[in-house]
């Protein structure tokens, strides 16, 4: 059932509206029109995912958060570049390829494709998918290396200490917990010739940067400062005991060895590669750098909050505006791990439930930033409660009940056109005001990365509208007060229009289906009165 609803506010007569199902909802604006004041472009990035294993729900979570911000920003009039991709070099990938009996490149090609395949399954509105084995990336990584050489921040030395291949991270003796990395990963003793980056030089500037600008939430900021409290050691940024990486550029080093770049220096550069670096005059670089938002899991905070800004400072490049570290998903109380065999497979999940219920669950069940406990039972319960399937409309709507009741009744009583309202009552005005006030609130939730509040805000308005329809009972007004019935339906349709628009970032299919039912002419409904 498709209702072509026309708004009388555009001067369409009811008769004309009845005659033409193609008329569109244009009852005012929600998001600002594209022609309004130009808004800052937004460059939004996920971490690039290691290709040592198949994707799991934790990877989907980081991408989902970015997708919600990207979708909302586009609707809100920002030009957006949403970047994701795969991190394909390093010892971990080399070892996994070896175990699989494949060359690292063939292995990376295969696994990278499984990450790419997630994008349409979850409706991730990615603009660019980058791979660190691409030629353009190797060129960018080598250029960043050369910039660090020029700034005098690299020197040749020897690394002797602990290394975790799983974390691709160097650890000090003091950091180890029961002989393992603080993450629980195994560590091994490494002694090899290596280039070092003078990280120690940047401690003060990093601290000033962290304290001066609210680039990171308070608790994450404190943990980064705590890490730097006793000083920062220079960082080993090349490896010589394996070959799967970007070769260190320049003349052969005095030690006569072949160095490949440390995988984190290589990987972090992806955020620049995507914009055309080393060409800092490239159009995308000029529009989108510095990045508006890097979203990462809390486990990789150190790399993004310390190493990355230090590399950028050394290369004389502006620093990203915002970094957000989200929490960690467990599975039924246990840490997800391949060895335990409890990793949640995002492909099976989306095939079973569809993208919108999974997206909605991941973003509304847990405070964004805190850890969460995944359980399929909770997902099913949350979907049933909040995304109740409305069988007769044939689509899943967060507002299924509300939409079905309003639209089918309007179809029957008003021939599928938006009825002309009469005088508004207090209740009408209150609900309309609630709908109009939601956009600035949602904007605040996105800006502060309180993404769980976003879904709650949309559900809250849907609940208020459901209460309104119960109290106003338009079906009881049909004969006695037809003008009042039309006003109530007008109010409900206007609220549904807001709900349809605002539900798109988290549940894009539901939003699109509802907009179609409303006959809205575009996903932004930017019609100006």
Site for ligand MSP, rule CB under 6 A = 47-50, 58-59, 61-62, 87, 267-268, 270, 296-297, 299-300, 328-329, 336
For residues 324 and 447, the answer to whether their CB atoms sit within 8 Å is no
Q: Which CB atom, from 110 or from 229, has the smaller least distance to ligand MSP?
A: 110
Q: HEC profile for 479-519?
A: CCCHHHHHHHHHHHHHHHHHHHHHHCCCCHHHHHHHHHHHC
Tell me, rounded to whole angstroms, the distance of Cα 166 from its chain centroid: 24
Q: Which is nearer to ligand MSP, 47 or 400 (CB)?
A: 47
Please report how close the Cβ of residue 96 comes to ligand MSP at its closest, in angstroms: 12
Shortest Å distance, C-beta 342 to ligand MSP: 10
User: In the complex with ligand MSP, which residue's Cβ is closer, 28 or 327?
Assistant: 327
Indicate the Cα dihedral angle 67, 68, 74, 79, nearest 10°: -50
What is the H or E stretch that residue 197 is in? strand 188-197
Q: Rounded to the nearest whole angstrom, what is the least distance from the CB of residue 277 to ligand MSP in the complex?
A: 14
C-beta closer to ligand MSP: residue 327 or 482: 327
Residues with Cβ within 8 Å of 42's Cβ and at least 6 positions away in sequence, in order, are 69, 70, 73, 78, 79, 80, 81, 288, 292, 293
Helix axes 426-447, 57-75, angle to 10 degrees: 120
Nearer to ligand MSP, 329 or 404 (CB): 329
Taking the least distance from each CB to ligand MSP, the nearer of 358 and 431 is 358
Nearer residue to ligand MSP within complex by CB, 111 or 513: 111
| Number of Cβ atoms within 10 Å of the Cβ of 528 | 10
Shortest Cβ distance from residue 218 to ligand MSP (Å)?
Answer: 20
Q: How far is the CB of 73 from ligand MSP (least distance, A)?
A: 20
Cis-peptide, bond into residue 117, ω within 30° of zero: no
Name beta bridge partners: 262: none
- Please state the closest distance from residue 269 (CB atom) to ligand MSP, in A: 8
The torsion of the CA quartet 516, 522, 525, 529, rounded to 10 degrees, works out to -110
User: Smallest distance, Å, CB 288 to ligand MSP?
Assistant: 16
Of the two residues 75 and 263, which places its CB atom closer to ligand MSP in the complex?
Answer: 263
* Neighbour count for residue 313 (Cβ, 10 Å): 18
Q: Which is nearer to ligand MSP, 136 or 467 (CB)?
A: 136
Q: Which is nearer to ligand MSP, 342 or 389 (CB)?
A: 342
Q: Give me the residue label for tokens 């006569």.
A: 256
Shortest CB 185 distance to ligand MSP, Å: 11
Q: What is the 3-state secondary structure (H, E, C) of 46-71?
A: CCCEECCCCCCHHHHHHHHHHHHHHH
Closest residue to ligand MSP, based on beta-carbon distance: 297
CB of 521 to ligand MSP, least distance (A): 38
Shortest gap between Cβ of 330 and ligand MSP (angstroms)? 7
3-state secondary structure of 469: helix
Q: Supply the DSSP string of 288-316, one letter for each residue.
A: HPSPSEEEEEGGGHHIIIIIHHHHHHHHT
Distance from C-alpha of 321 to C-alpha of 309, rounded to nearest angstrom: 11
């Amino acid at each position: 059932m498709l209702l072509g609803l026309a708004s009388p506010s555009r001067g369409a007569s009811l008769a004309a509206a009845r005659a033409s199902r193609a008329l569109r909802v244009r009852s005012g604006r929600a998001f600002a029109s594209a022609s309004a004041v130009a808004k800052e472009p937004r460059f939004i990035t996920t971490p690039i995912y290691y290709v040592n294993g198949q994707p799991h729900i934790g990877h989907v979570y980081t991408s989902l958060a970015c997708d919600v911000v990207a979708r909302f920003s586009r609707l809100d009039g920002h030009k957006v570049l949403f970047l994701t991709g795969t991190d394909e070099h390093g010892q971990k990938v080399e070892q996994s390829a070896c175990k699989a009996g494949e060359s690292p490149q063939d292995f990376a090609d295969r696994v990278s494709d499984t990450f790419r395949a997630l994008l349409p399954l979850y409706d991730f509105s990615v603009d660019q998918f980058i791979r660190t084995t691409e030629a353009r990336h190797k060129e960018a990584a080598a250029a960043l290396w050369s910039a660090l050489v020029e700034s005098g921040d690299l020197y040749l030395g020897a690394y002797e200490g602990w290394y975790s291949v799983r974390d691709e991270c160097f650890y000090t003796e003091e950091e180890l917990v029961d002989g393992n990395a603080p993450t629980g990963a195994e560590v091994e003793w490494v002694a090899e010739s290596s280039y070092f980056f003078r990280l120690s030089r940047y401690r003060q500037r990093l601290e000033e940067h962290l304290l001066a600008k609210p680039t990171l939430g308070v608790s994450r900021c404190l943990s980064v400062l705590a890490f730097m409290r006793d000083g920062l050691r220079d960082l080993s940024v090349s490896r010589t005991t394996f070959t799967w990486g970007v070769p260190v550029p320049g003349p052969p080093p005095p030690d006569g060895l072949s160095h490949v770049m440390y995988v984190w220096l290589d990987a972090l550069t992806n955020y620049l590669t995507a914009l055309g670096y080393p060409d800092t005059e490239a159009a995308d670089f000029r529009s989108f750098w510095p990045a508006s938002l890097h979203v990462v899991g809390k486990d990789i905070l150190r790399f993004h909050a310390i190493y990355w800004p230090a590399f950028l400072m050394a290369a004389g490049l502006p620093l990203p505006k915002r970094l957000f570290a989200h929490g960690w998903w467990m599975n039924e109380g246990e840490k997800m791990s391949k060895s335990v065999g409890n990793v949640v497979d995002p492909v099976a999940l989306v095939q079973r439930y569809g993208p919108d219920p999974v997206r909605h669950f991941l973003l509304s069940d847990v405070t964004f930033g805190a850890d969460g406990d995944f359980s399929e039972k909770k997902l099913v319960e949350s979907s049933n409660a909040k995304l109740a399937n409305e069988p007769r409309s044939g689509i899943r709507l967060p507002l299924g009940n509300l939409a079905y009741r309003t639209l089918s009744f309007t179809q029957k009583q008003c021939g599928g056109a938006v009825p002309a309202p009469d005088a508004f009552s207090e209740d009408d005005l209150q609900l309309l005001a609630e709908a109009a006030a939601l956009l600035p609130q949602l904007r605040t939730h996105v800006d502060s990365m309180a993404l769980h509040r976003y879904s709650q805000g949309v559900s809250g308005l849907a609940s208020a509208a459901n209460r309104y329809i119960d109290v106003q009972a338009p079906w009881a007004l049909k004969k006695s007060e037809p003008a009042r019935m039309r006003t109530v339906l007008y109010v409900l349709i206007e609220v549904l229009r807001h709900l349809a628009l605002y539900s798109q970032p988290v549940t894009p299919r539901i939003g699109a289906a509802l907009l179609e039912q409303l006959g809205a002419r575009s996903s932004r409904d930017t019609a100006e009165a």
